[in-house]
DNA sequence: ATAAGGGTTATAGTAACTATAAGGTCAAGG
DNA sequence: CCTTGACCTTATAGTTACTATAACCCTTAT
């Protein structure tokens, strides 16, 4: 089926994940231990390739490695309901929305700060003052 | 002027920053070394109080402790132009906007994923499939 | 006197990597 | 054949901004 014929560097090029990070994922058990060449080099198959892409894509959506570990194990149990997966996505959506809310508030506040700097010396700078006070 | 009359716990209550974090800030030089009572307890003045509020507020705006260290040292040199502070705020605003962009993209993508879950079993789960593939 | 609720220090752990050191392997060119 | 350079290996330490733990000291009330 899948031949184990890519070195870690090749896998890195194909997935955009650095070798050192791939080894790290193996170490924490996100990736299975790679088979080795005679000289001890790690060798990877297309299955590994897909798994890494899955990880990268999930990371890009803001899932933690812990989340991804769960998603991967869910993905491996093909017969079970996908409610768990859906729940994880929903939960992540919640988190992203909450962060969006905070960031939007930050943006407003920074805009306000930036607008109120009159360009004088620090003694008169409203920014420091504003940041020191409750408001 | 300012009396040094608050314990670390009182300061913590007033600022919403935990004692352990306050000690940490002192250790990394964000706060000056506190004066001590005879028995070795840290004692804080209103100046410290304001400095901590400044830190907390800046943190809430997304500044890193490194940024805050710079802001504080800028703020300490009262005679200088506040252009440096303003630039930092501008830079931070940029960063916040960039994060907002990323998060909005994430939100869209997660919404799309969530919508495509039909509630079957994992084998047929579009979410897993989508996460596995480039698209 | 003692117990509860502070305070003190030092050390280790967290997430998700990144950086460094010190060495082994492999293919190409002189 | 030898060397050079790019790649691979491992182990260890550093990063950010804390949090958790242990083991102990101080203060106050009962």
* Average of per-residue pLDDT values in chain B: 89
| Mean of pLDDT values over B39-52 | 94
Where are any strands of DSSP class E within chain B?
Answer: 35-36, 42-43
The reply to whether the CB atom of residue B120 sits less than 7 A from any atom in nucleic acid chain C is no
Residue B32 main-chain phi, psi, to 5 deg: -65, 160
- The domain made up of B4-63 is a member of CATH 1.10.1660.10: yes
* Amino acid B135: pLDDT: 52
- What is the CA A36 to chain-centroid distance, rounded? 28
Give the 3-state DSSP-derived string for A70-88, with helices as H, strands as E and coil as C.
HHHHHHHCCCCECHHHHHH
Residue B1 confidence (pLDDT): 56
Q: Distance from CA of residue A123 to its chain's centroid?
A: 42
- Per-residue pLDDT band for A127 (boundaries 50, 70, 90) equals confident
Q: What is the pLDDT of residues A3-49, one digit of tens each?
A: 779 999 999 999 999 999 999 999 999 999 999 999 999 999 999 99
Sign of CA dihedral A6, A8, A13, A15: positive
Question: Residues 19-78, chain B: which have Cβ within 8 Å of A?
Answer: 50-51, 53-54, 57-58, 60-62, 71, 74-75, 77-78
Q: Quote the CA–CA distance of B14 and B50 in Å, as a whole number.
A: 10
Q: How many other CB atoms are there within 10 angstroms of residue B27's CB atom?
A: 10
Asked if pLDDT for residue B79 goes beyond 80, the answer is no
Measured CA to C1', the nucleotide nearest A8 is D8
Tokens of B41: 């307890």
pLDDT number for residue B10: 96
d(CA B25, CA B30): 5
**pLDDT tens by residue, A75-85:** 888 777 888 88
pLDDT for the residue A121: 82
Measured CA to CA, the distance from residue A45 to residue A8 in angstroms comes to 10
For the residues of B94-106, what is the DSSP string, one character each?
HHHHHHHHHHHHH
Condensed to tens digits (0 to 9), the pLDDT of residues A110-121 reads 898 888 877 778
Any A CB within 8 A of B79 CB: yes
Range B74-79 average pLDDT:
80
Residue B44 β-bridge partners: B6
Asked if residue A25 keeps its beta carbon closer than 7 A to nucleic acid strand D, the reply is: no
φ, ψ at A11 (rounded to 5°): -60, -40
Alpha carbon distance A60, B77 (integer Å): 41
Which of B71, B97, B113 has its CB closest to that of A107?
Answer: B97
The whole-model pTM stands at: 0.86
Asked if B57 and B50 count as a contact pair (C-beta separation under 8 A), the reply is no
Q: How is residue A127 written in tokens? A: 């920014």
Residue B2 clears pLDDT 70, i.e. is over it: no
- The residues spanned by each domain of chain B are 4-63, 81-135
User: What average pLDDT does range B29-38 have in this prediction?
Assistant: 95
B133-CA/C7-C1' distance, Å: 56
Cβ of B36 less than 7 A from strand D:
no
pLDDT above 80 (res A104):
yes
Label residue B49 by pLDDT band (50, 70, 90).
very high
In eight-state DSSP terms, residue A122 is: G
**Average pLDDT in the B111-132 region?**
83
pLDDT confidence of residue A24 = 97
């Amino acid at each position: 089926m899948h031949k184990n014929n890519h070195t870690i560097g090749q896998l890195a090029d194909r997935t955009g994940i650095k070798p050192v990070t791939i080894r790290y994922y193996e170490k924490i058990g996100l990736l299975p231990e790679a088979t080795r060449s005679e000289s001890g080099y790690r060798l990877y198959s297309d299955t590994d390739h897909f798994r890494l892409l899955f990880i990268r894509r999930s990371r890009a959506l803001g899932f933690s490695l812990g989340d991804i570990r769960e998603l991967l194990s869910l993905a491996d149990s093909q017969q079970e309901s996908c409610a768990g997966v859906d729940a994880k996505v929903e939960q992540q959506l919640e988190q992203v929305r909450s962060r969006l809310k905070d960031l939007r508030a930050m943006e407003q506040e920074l805009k306000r700060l930036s607008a109120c700097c009159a360009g004088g010396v620090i003694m008169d700078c409203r920014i420091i003052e504003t940041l020191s006070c409750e408001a």
